[in-house]
Amino acid sequence: MNDDHYARCRATDAKMRDPNTADNMAVRLGIMADIKSGKITLAQGQAELAAIQRQAKKLGLPTAYGQ
């Protein structure tokens, strides 16, 4: 059972580092940088990430926690 958990964690980590993933780590870090600098609020950042994920789903692109 634990092996499956760690395999899923490794798979998600690989998706997050893949530049072809719509909501990859670089995108998420960019949103967090905007939040930390005060350009946007946390709620706006969350909405922006959700919009990216929605658009990716419509286009059939991979996301870190989907497909």
> What's the mean pLDDT in 15-33?
94
How buried is 21 (Cβ within 10 angstroms: 0-12 exposed, 13-18 middle, 19+ buried)?
Answer: buried
- pTM value is 0.82
Closest CA to 27 of 3, 60, 50, 1: 50
Give the pLDDT mean for 48-54.
Answer: 96
Residue 53: per-residue pLDDT: 94
| Closest to 25 measured CA to CA, from 60, 67, 58, 65 | 65
The pLDDT-based confidence of 1 (bands split at 50, 70, 90) is: low
67: confidence class by pLDDT, cuts 50, 70, 90:
low
